[in-house]
């Protein structure tokens, strides 16, 4: 639509519109909504990884002070017993976990009882009084041991593509190539650890109605799940989740505390809150354990001759969880021969979960580590190797890209980082006791758009409210939607209220896959554009209207008024138009989706080039990341301030993956042992140094209506490889299993 309008907010750095609510403590999270008589639930976690409960004695717990009820598989009062009813919008194929269904135990930490009491402490105290006897069966959470039992998932997960068919003859080309290598890579299991632990407050409204405050990335996904599992009509289930204290995937699927809270609420006809402990956050929601084998070959000129990437990933016994792990290796570089494969193996663990850039984070770590190794083998600078193999089109899908400014990322990132200062040989840069290393890697993520509906409502007093059911998990959704709306009608940002995180709002998919900005943003803009047409029609019809014959192409919406572009003194203010209409408000609802022909003819991706500097204390083996430059091509950047935060957050998670995060399994118990933030390390402020973000200019008129590609995930992809590659450059030690802890460097 070619409407000339003064753009004042979109593209400009604007602080978060919800910032004051957050820093003043007024923003309420799922477990902070209160009613006078809300009961509290405490989840009892099982002690074994596999087997069955032979006896569960709750008498003592039930007799404890202030305890109202104890629910176990023997007394489970509510909820469907049909697995298909538990399938949420983003569930992988299989039978979702059904809490307290029967005596079977499938994973360590499985919830086996819910104690409901007048207060949280009483419920927690009573949990210690439950006596449970188990019959244990042999279990394994060892992907390496179960690799021989790997299988190709018979049904694909929606949105996840199986690896493309091989192209060329990757094995033949590999065998005859002058430079080649094949290695295994692995990343420790990482658990989601958002600041806000999972919790659900279920308010029992009577008449079969529930209002639920859930920690979720999709209020309507939670609503659909609860309605389906408990046989309620969706209109009677309202899910309100305005703020989410971090998620990045852990809030995509409904978690078991939601089921338990709703079950207890319906059974007791009371409001019930169930929150998980930090320890229990380690019972679900983890990046899958994945073993990669990458084979790369090139000529003496560095041109790739063969790319082979195989990955085996762990999943649960009951679901075939899938990610795009290896597909990136077939499209990131130009290469005539490629062979990719991906399989799963069953573990006695909970189903893995999406975690920021699921699949890409793992697969690109393996590929970009291997590319670095190839650079040394071919004696070519690692950046130069990437440039020599630059993919102008997506060879895997045989499509052009909607846009791809990765070359600019390489160039601008290298310049900002001062890559030219790098000495080619490992261990060739040092300062005092510190070995210094420079490493780099490429990042890639899908630029997705999903059908999303938004409503815009302009009140007579001039306030504009825009609304869609998506979530803001801290990423800045409230802010960018407000910016888009303010610009669309040419009104101040302060006059706009954005509403998200409510199942009663217009339909939106879960907030994930980095698609919310492009999708919800486009929907809000479309709805506001319809208001513009209506406002102009009203203005034209006004008596002695200065805009009597004006059409949409020739007016601007700026400074709170509609004006003729060629003669701005001919104007009608929005307030005047609203007064003339006599209406209390104008309202429009629109659905945005990507042009189907774009998906058919093009590939759409965001890209990045990540450069990292490390210092490794030669005697102590301590590695520190001292600088990161992340240069990102993600189409139109709606807000460089919140956008930059997205990239910094991704880089920090990538540094955590490279150096810190590691869930340590006891393979005899099939249980992760370090279930707290004291022993499961995440980067602290002292671990994070200078992170420099560059957004390169990337115009894209196809990917989404505003040219937006999304920023939530690209910041993490490639970061761990850049750090690992820098550590090799510093030390000459190639560590192919993350995290790179001191023991691996000494
Ligand atoms: Mo993202 S892992 O889709 O929240």
Crossing angle of helices 360-378 and 640-659, rounded to 10°: 70
The enclosing domain of 558 has a CATH number of 3.30.365.10
CA 513/CA 614 separation, integer angstroms: 30
Going by C-alpha positions, the residue among 463, 679, 461, 466 that lies closest to residue 589 is 466
Domain match, 103 and 113 both: yes
Q: 617 lies in a domain?
A: yes
Residue 225 clears pLDDT 60, i.e. is over it: yes
- Region of 442 (left: φ > 0; alpha: ψ -120 to 50; beta: rest) is beta
Q: Indicate the residue among 564, 593, 622 that finishes a domain.
A: 593
Complete DSSP assignment for 505-549: SSP---S-TT-HHHHHHHHHHHHHHHHHHHHHHHHHHSTT-TTTT
Ligand 1 atom with the shortest distance to the CA of 355: 2
Average pLDDT over residues 636-659: 98
- Rounded CA-CA distance 322/316 in Å is 11
Maximum separation of any 2 CA atoms in the chain, in Å? 86
pLDDT of res. 447: 98
Residue 726's H or E segment, with its range, is helix 719-731
7 assigned to some structural domain: no
Run of H or E including 176: helix 170-176
Q: Does residue 85 have a pLDDT over 70? A: yes
> Facing residues of 298 across strands?
179, 304
Do 464 and 495 contact (CB within 8 A), yes or no? Answer: yes
Are residues 552 and 462 located together in one domain of the fold? yes
Quickly state the pLDDT bin for 34 (edges 50, 70, 90): confident
What are the distances in angstroms from CA 338 to CA 360, 366, 391, 667, 677? 17, 15, 13, 35, 41
Ligand 1 pocket test: which of 157, 356, 362, 653 has the largest number of ligand atoms within 8 Å of its C-beta?
A: 356
Q: DSSP letters of 451-486?
A: -EEEEEEEETTS-EEEE-S---SSSSHHHHHHHHHH
Structurally, the chain folds into a number of domains equal to 3
Q: 468 with 371, same domain?
A: no
- Is residue 3 pLDDT above 50, yes or no? no
Averaged pLDDT, 619-640? 97
Which atom of ligand 1 sits closest to the CA of residue 252?
4
The residue nearest atom 3 of ligand 1, judged by CA position, is 512
Q: The whole model's pTM is what?
A: 0.97
Q: What is the DSSP letter of 208?
A: T
**What mean pLDDT is predicted for residues 304-331?**
98
Domain that holds residue 152: 148-190+286-448+600-745
Reduced DSSP (H G I as helix, E B as strand, rest coil) percent helix, strand, coil of the chain, to 5: 30, 25, 45
Please say if the pLDDT value at position 1 is more than 80: no
Ligand 1 center from residue 475 Cα (angstroms): 11
pLDDT band at 7 (very low <50, low <70, confident <90, very high): low
Tell me, in angstroms, the distance from the centre of ligand 1 to residue 724's CA.
24
Ligand 1 atom nearest to 247, measured from its CA: 4
- Average confidence (pLDDT) over 67-91: 96
Q: Which of 249, 362, 472 to mutate to test the pocket of ligand 1 (most atoms within 8 A of CB)?
A: 249
Check whether residue 180 and residue 202 sit in a common domain.
Answer: no
Q: Do 321 and 233 share a structural domain?
A: no
Please check whether residue 313 is in contact with residue 306, taking contact to mean a CB–CB distance below 8 angstroms.
no
| The domain boundary residue, chosen from 593, 624, 642 | 593
Q: What's the rounded Cα separation, in Å, for the pair 550 and 2?
A: 14
Under 8 Å between Cβ of 325 and 342: yes
Domain boundary pick from 576, 593, 610: 593
Ligand 1: atom nearest CA of 354 is 2
300-313 mean pLDDT = 98
Choose which residue among 160, 248, 606 to substitute to test ligand 1 binding: the one with the highest number of ligand atoms within 8 A of its C-beta: 248
How distant, in Å, are the alpha carbons of 107, 279, 518, 653, 737 from that of 680?
A: 20, 11, 35, 14, 17
Q: With respect to residue 421, please indicate whether it lies within any of the assigned structural domains.
A: yes
Match 């006695």 to its residue by tokens.
348
Please determine, for residue 316, whether its predicted confidence score (pLDDT) is greater than 70.
yes
Tokens of 555: 């007016």
Does residue 299 sit within a domain? yes
Query: What's the rounded Cα separation, in Å, for the pair 400 and 447?
Result: 14
| Ligand 1 atom with least separation from CA of 250 | 4
Question: pLDDT-based confidence at 501, cuts 50/70/90?
Answer: very high
Distance in Å, CA 358 to ligand 1 centroid = 7
Ligand 1 atom at shortest distance from the alpha carbon of 217: 4
Dist. CA 187–CA 18, nearest whole Å: 36
CA of 520 to the centre of ligand 1 (A): 16
Tell whether 417 and 494 lie within a shared domain. no
The pLDDT assigned to 426 comes to 98
* CATH number, residue 260: 3.90.1170.50
Where would I find the H helices in 101-158?
Answer: 120-127, 143-146
**C-alpha span between 451 and 338 (Å, rounded):** 33
Q: Tens digit of pLDDT for each residue in 446-470?
A: 999 999 999 999 999 999 999 999 9
Task: Please report whether residue 224 resides in a domain.
Answer: yes
Q: Ligand 1 mean position to 357 CA, how many Å?
A: 6
pLDDT digits (tens, 9 = 90+) for 110-168: 999 999 999 999 999 999 999 999 999 999 999 999 999 999 999 999 999 999 999 99
Residue 709 within any structural domain of the chain:
yes
List the alpha helices (DSSP H) in 243-349. Answer: 256-268
Question: Coil, helix or strand for 383?
Answer: helix
How far does the centroid of ligand 1 lie from the alpha carbon of residue 289, in Å?
Answer: 17
- One domain, residues 366 and 413: yes
Residues 335 and 391 in one domain: yes
My answer on whether 494 and 519 are in the same domain is yes
450 CA distance to ligand 1 middle (Å): 14
What pLDDT does 5 receive? 43
Per cent of the chain over pLDDT 70 is: 99
CB-facing half-sphere around the CA of 616: CA atoms within 13 A: 31
| pLDDT tens by residue, 551-591 | 999 999 999 999 999 999 999 999 999 999 999 999 999 99
C-alpha 517/C-alpha 706 separation (Å) is 10
Element (H, E) at 62: helix 59-63
Best of 713, 715, 716, 717 for a ligand 1 pocket test (most atoms within 8 Å of beta carbon)? 713
Give yes or no: residues 474 and 583 share one domain: yes
Pairing of strands 737-738, 179-187: parallel
Q: Is residue 554 part of a domain?
A: yes
Cβ neighbors of 135 (< 8 A, separation 6 or more) are 51, 52, 54
Tell me the CA–centroid distance for residue 244 and ligand 1, in Å: 13
Cis peptide leading into residue 739 (ω within 30°): yes
Q: Are residues 240 and 154 in the same domain?
A: no
* CA–CA dist 25, 452 (Å, integer): 30
Cα gap 93→90, rounded to integer Å? 10
CA 8 from chain centre, in angstroms, equals: 29
Choose the residue to mutate in 712, 715, 716 for probing ligand 1, maximizing ligand atoms within 8 Å of C-beta.
712
Ligand 1 mean position, distance from CA 500 (Å): 17
Same domain membership, residue 503 and residue 365: no
Verify whether residue 103 is a known catalytic residue.
no
Q: Tell me the pLDDT of the chain averaged across its residues.
A: 97
Which ligand 1 atom lies nearest to the CA of residue 510? 3
**CA-CA-CA-CA torsion sign (102, 105, 106, 108):** positive
Name residues contacting ligand 1 (CB within 6 A): 217, 248-249, 252, 354-356, 358, 512-513
Residue 12 in domain: no
Catalytic option among 319, 698, 713, 737: 713
Round to whole Å and give the CA distance between 582 and 565. 26
Q: Tell whether ipTM is more than 0.90.
A: yes
Digit-coded pLDDT (tens) for 508-560: 999 999 999 999 999 999 999 999 999 999 999 999 999 999 999 999 999 99
Cβ–Cβ under 8 Å, residues 209 and 491: no
Cβ(140)–Cβ(667) under 8 Å?
yes
Confidence of residue 36 (pLDDT cuts 50, 70, 90): confident
Angstrom CA distances, 499 to 74, 504, 518, stand at 42, 11, 17
Residue 512 Cα to ligand 1 midpoint, Å, equals 4
Q: Which of 628, 530, 549 is nearest to 588 (CA)?
A: 530
């Amino acid at each position: 639509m070619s409407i000339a309008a003064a753009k004042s907010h979109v593209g400009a750095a604007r602080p978060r519109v919800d910032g004051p609510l957050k820093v003043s403590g007024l923003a309420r999270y799922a477990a902070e909504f209160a009613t006078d008589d809300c009961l509290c639930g405490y989840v009892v976690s099982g002690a074994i990884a596999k087997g069955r409960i032979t006896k569960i004695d709750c008498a003592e717990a039930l007799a404890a002070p202030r305890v109202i009820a104890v629910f176990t598989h023997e007394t489970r009062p509510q909820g469907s017993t049909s697995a298909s009813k538990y399938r949420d919008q983003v569930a992988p194929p299989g039978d979702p976990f059904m809490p307290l269904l029967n005596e079977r135990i499938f994973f360590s930490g499985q919830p086996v009882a819910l104690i409901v009491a007048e207060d949280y402490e009483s419920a927690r105290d009573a949990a210690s009084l439950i006596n449970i006897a188990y019959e244990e069966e042999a279990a394994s959470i060892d992907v390496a041991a179960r690799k021989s039992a790997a299988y190709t998932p018979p049904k694909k997960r929606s949105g996840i593509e199986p690896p493309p068919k091989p192209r060329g003859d990757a094995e033949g080309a590999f065998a005859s190539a002058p430079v080649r290598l094949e290695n295994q890579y692995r990343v420790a299991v990482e658990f989601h650890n958002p600041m806000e632990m999972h919790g659900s407050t279920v308010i029992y409204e009577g008449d079969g109605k529930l209002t639920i405050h859930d920690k979720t990335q999709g209020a309507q996904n939670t609503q659909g799940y609860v309605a389906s599992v408990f046989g309620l009509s969706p209109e009677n289930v309202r899910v309100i989740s305005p703020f989410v204290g971090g998620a990045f995937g852990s809030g995509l699927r409904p978690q078991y505390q939601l089921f338990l809270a709703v079950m207890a609420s319906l059974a007791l006809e009371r409001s019930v809150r169930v929150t998980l402990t930090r320890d229990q956050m380690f019972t679900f929601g983890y990046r899958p354990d994945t073993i990669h084998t990458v084979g790369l070959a090139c000529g003496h000129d560095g041109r790739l001759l063969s790319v082979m990437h195989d990955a085996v990933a762990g999943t649960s016994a009951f679901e075939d969880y899938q990610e795009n792990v290896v597909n990136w290796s077939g499209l990131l570089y130009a290469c005539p021969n490629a062979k990719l494969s991906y399989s799963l193996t069953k573990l006695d663990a909970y189903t893995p979960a999406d975690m920021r850039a699921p699949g890409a984070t793992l697969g690109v770590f393996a590929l970009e580590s291997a590319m670095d190794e190839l650079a040394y083998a071919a004696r070519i600078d690692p950046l130069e190797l990437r440039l020599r193999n630059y993919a102008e089109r997506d060879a895997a899908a045989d499509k052009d890209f909607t846009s791809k400014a990765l070359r600019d990322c390489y160039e601008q990132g290298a310049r900002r980082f001062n890559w030219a200062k790098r000495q080619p040989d490992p261990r060739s840069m040092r300062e005092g006791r510190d070995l210094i290393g420079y490493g780099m890697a490429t990042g890639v993520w899908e630029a997705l758009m999903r059908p999303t509906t938004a409503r815009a409502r302009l009140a007579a007093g001039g306030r504009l409210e825009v609304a869609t059911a998506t979530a803001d998990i801290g990423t800045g959704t409230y802010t960018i939607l407000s910016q888009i709306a303010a610009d669309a009608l040419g009104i101040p940002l302060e006059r706009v209220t954005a509403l998200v995180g409510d199942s009663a709002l217009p339909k939106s998919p879960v907030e994930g896959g980095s698609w919310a900005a492009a999708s919800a943003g486009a929907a809000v803009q479309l709805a506001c554009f319809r208001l513009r047409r209506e406002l102009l029609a009203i203005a034209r019809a006004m008596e002695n209207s200065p805009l009597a014959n004006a059409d949409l192409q020739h007016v601007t919406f700026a400074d709170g008024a509609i004006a003729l572009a060629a003669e701005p003194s001919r104007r009608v203010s929005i307030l005047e138009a609203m007064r003339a209409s006599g209406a209390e408000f104008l309202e429009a609802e629109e659905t945005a989706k990507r042009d189907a022909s774009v998906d058919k003819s093009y590939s759409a991706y965001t890209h990045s080039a990540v450069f990292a500097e490390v210092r490794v204390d030669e005697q102590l083996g301590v590695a520190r990341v001292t600088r990161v430059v992340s240069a990102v091509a993600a189409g139109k950047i709606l807000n460089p301030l919140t956008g930059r935060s997205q990239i910094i957050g991704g880089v920090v998670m990538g540094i955590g993956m490279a150096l810190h995060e590691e869930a340590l399994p006891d393979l005899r118990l099939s249980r992760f042992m370090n279930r707290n933030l004291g022993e499961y390390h995440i980067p602290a402020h002292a671990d994070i140094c200078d992170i420099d973000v560059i957004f390169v200019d990337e115009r894209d008129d196809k990917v989404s209506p505003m040219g937006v590609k999304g920023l939530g995930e690209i910041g993490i992809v490639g970061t761990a490889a850049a750090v690992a590659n820098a550590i090799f450059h510093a030390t000459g030690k190639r560590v192919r299993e993350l995290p790179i802890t001191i023991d691996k460097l000494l």
